[in-house]
Chains A and B, each alone.
Chain A
Amino acid sequence: MRTVIVVGGSAAGLAAVQSLRREGYGERILVIGAEPHPPYDRPPLSKGFIANNLPFEHIRLGEQALLDELGAEWLVPARACELDLERRMLRLEADDRLRFDGLVVATGVSPLAFPGPSPHGVYTLRGLDDAEALRTALASAPRVAVIGTGVLGMEFAATARKIGLDVTVIGNAPHPLARQFPAAIGELLAARHREAGVILRLNAPVAGFEETSGHVSGVRLADGEVIPAELALVAIGSKPNVDWLRSSGLPIGDGILCDARCRAAPGVYAAGDVASWWHSGYGARLRIEHRMNATEQAGTAVKNLLGATEDFRPIPFMWSDQHDVKLQSYGVFPASGEMEIEGDMASGRFVALCHHQGRVVGALGWNAAKTLRQSRMRLAEAMEDIRLDEPTLTFA
């Protein structure tokens, strides 16, 4: 191969470049990145970057010297808008055409917007520019409303509360992280947020926004009640960035549909948030929007691009920091799974195991990172023996 193109200049894209060099690929690498910034770490954006006013250098992935050493050409900011599989050609929005021998797609996801018009003061959070805008706007917004009770929404709520703002979280679900974990965990988390002074409005669908002179003044619930707020964050999920591939003939569903080796077509691989692949361990299709997966999946995808035949079968891992709680989890948490608590839930430190079909399939640590890691071994053993209830899973 003379040219490998990596579309996406974030965590998975950078990991792909690093893996290419580690695996001994010495020819040309082109990276197409939509953002103008060098690669950076997204998880701190909803937490320390805002709460502690961190400088960009702190969240940067790799110093300039590391990037220079990798010897890739970074075309940023630039967007790919068309893929011609037959001619192995990529077209950019600027109308440049680039030929490749191998392609890694790591275009990530975009946040879902709230349906209907949004006044000024309504934000989503995905990139550095979003986080910087939010950081500035929070300085003049005493009341903050967060729509969505997933990981991002709850982390941002904790951050806004930490800097002393009045925060209300509004969501359809009965408890936070309802898609991720069993109710007992979500309820404990809700209690911790309330203790910290966050107001939670659960089971509360949002109808729209109230505005004054074009700026948001509140969030209107379906029952007509208005939650006053000068700033609202919409954190209701995201969608894979695949629209530019629709004419390419690549299999597209909830993400780019890859085989067990992260391959979407001959010479074309996907990694990170955008990749949906067949997890041969669980016997299910997975797409994971978590940081660790971006690094791991890019590594395997690149090895396979260079000729290996390795299935990608990680134990899913995620973490979330909210107030003084450090949550981490390994594995899967099927809706029908049963929880077993190791330790005392009230003590502020425990591990919760999820049992499914007679095996431990998921483990969650609540301020217990080290103990949790020790229970990881059991999950690898169980992987082969279980059937998931859902044939397709998204971890976000």
Chain B
Amino acid sequence: MRVIIEQAKCCGAGQCVLAAPDIFDQREDDGIVILLQENPSEESRADVLQAIKVCPALAIRLEG
């Protein structure tokens, strides 16, 4: 499974980090998303799906 983020769309709400702190982080000042793991293990799927669900900018996708 591959996580794809669009930093240009990200508004820095940080909801993805709340949902999946092992996969996402934020830049300190503006809060824009940082992808920590592009290919996380299958165990993280539920957390990533939750992050996709709560992202207000629809800036996260999952392939595979």
Contact = CB atoms under 8 A, between A and B. Distances in A.
B53 A299 contact: yes
B28 interface: yes
Contacts of B17: 373
Given A299-B53, A367-B29, A369-B31, A61 B13 contact: no
B28 A11 contact: no
Nearest to A66: B58
A373 B14 contact: yes
Interface string B34-64: 0000000000000000000111111000000
A368 B28 contact: yes
Interface stretch (A137-145, A225-233, A289-297): A289-297
B26 A292 contact: no
A370 B14 contact: yes
A77 interface: no
Given A58-B9, A62-B58, A292 B29 contact: no
Contacts of A291: 11, 56
Contact of B28 (A18, A294, A369, A376): A369
Nearest to B13: A292
Contact of B12 (A11, A22, A319, A349): A319
A371 B18 contact: no
A52 B3 CA distance: 28
Contacts of B8: 58
B57 A326 contact: no
B25 to A, nearest CB: 8
B9 A326 contact: no
A71 interface: no
Interface string A268-301: 0000000000000000000000011011100100
Contacts of B15: 292
B32 to A, nearest CB: 8
A61 B58 contact: yes
Contacts of B56: 11, 41, 291-292, 294-295
A369 B30 contact: yes
Nearest to B25: A370
A326 B12 contact: yes
Interface in A37-67: 41, 43, 58, 61-62, 66
A168 interface: no
B51 to A, nearest CB: 12
Contacts of B53: 18-19, 22, 299
A342 B27 CA distance: 19
Contacts of B55: 295
A43 B11 contact: yes
Given A299-B53, A326-B29, A319 B18 contact: no
Nearest to A318: B13
Interface string A61-79: 1100010000000000000
Contacts of B11: 43, 291, 319
A304 interface: no
A328 interface: yes
Contacts of A66: 58
Given A58-B8, A292-B56, A370 B18 contact: no
Interface in A92-129: none
Nearest to B29: A367
B49 to A, nearest CB: 9
Contacts of A292: 13, 15, 56
Nearest first, the 3 A-B pairs at minimum CB distance are: A369-B31, A373-B14, A367-B29
Interface of B: 8-9, 11-15, 17-18, 25-31, 53-58
Interface of A: 11, 18-19, 22, 41, 43, 58, 61-62, 66, 291-292, 294-296, 299, 317, 319, 326, 328, 349, 367-373, 376
Given A66-B58, A368-B28, 15 more contacts: A18-B53, A61-B58, A292-B13, A292-B56, A295-B55, A295-B56, A296-B54, A299-B53, A319-B12, A326-B12, A328-B12, A328-B14, A369-B12, A369-B30, A370-B26
17 contacts: A43-B11, A58-B9, A61-B58, A291-B56, A295-B54, A295-B55, A296-B54, A326-B12, A326-B31, A367-B30, A368-B28, A369-B14, A369-B27, A369-B31, A371-B28, A373-B31, A376-B18
